[in-house]
Homo-oligomer: A and B are copies of this chain.
Amino acid sequence: MPLALRPARPDDAALILSFVRELAEYEKLLHEVEATAEDFARDLFGPQPRVFCDIAEWDGAPAGFALWYYTFSTFRGRQGIFLEDIFVRPQFRGRGIARALMRRLARRCVDEALGRFEWNVLDWNAPAIRFYRSVGAVPLDAWTMQRVSGEALEKLAEG
């Protein structure tokens, strides 16, 4: 099988940035990308990383990635995984690569006794939502994410 999944290495930082920018372009959010390759190098490959990345290669060519971190559910009393980004380059789609990346993370959840595997989806992204239904995900329609950032965050910090 030409598909190989592996953990990202420090020399993947520029590749990860490319993936993030390609995903953002698809999401019509490229203008929001501020990250640099140095940001990924610092936070993914430091001494005690809190964020992790798996790379998918097809016949040795970089085809996609999944970037994730650990969560915690107070109701379950267990950690979980939040999938921050998953992306497969268009020319590699239809080969089960995204499913393989998600299966790998689900496998980690089972192996590490993690209770929940979660992520967010843009409501207009119907192909992604269909795919997520096919892997057993349910939407948490009763909840809405809240965010403080930028000047509002500084203002709250000042009290």
Interface residues of A (CB under 8 A from B): 16, 20, 23-24, 29, 32-36, 39-40, 43, 48, 50-51, 67, 69-79, 82, 84-85, 102-103, 106-107, 109-110, 115-124, 132, 135-149, 152-157, 159
Contact = CB atoms under 8 A, between A and B. Distances in A.
A interface, over-half SS: mixed
20 contacts: A35-B73, A39-B77, A43-B78, A67-B72, A69-B70, A71-B82, A74-B84, A102-B156, A103-B156, A106-B156, A109-B157, A116-B147, A117-B153, A120-B140, A121-B144, A135-B148, A137-B146, A139-B144, A140-B145, A145-B145
A35 B77 CA distance: 4
Contacts of A110: 153-154, 157
A84 B69 CA distance: 14
A52 to B, nearest CB: 9
Given A69-B72, A84-B73, A84-B74, A115 B146 contact: no
Contacts of A82: 71, 82
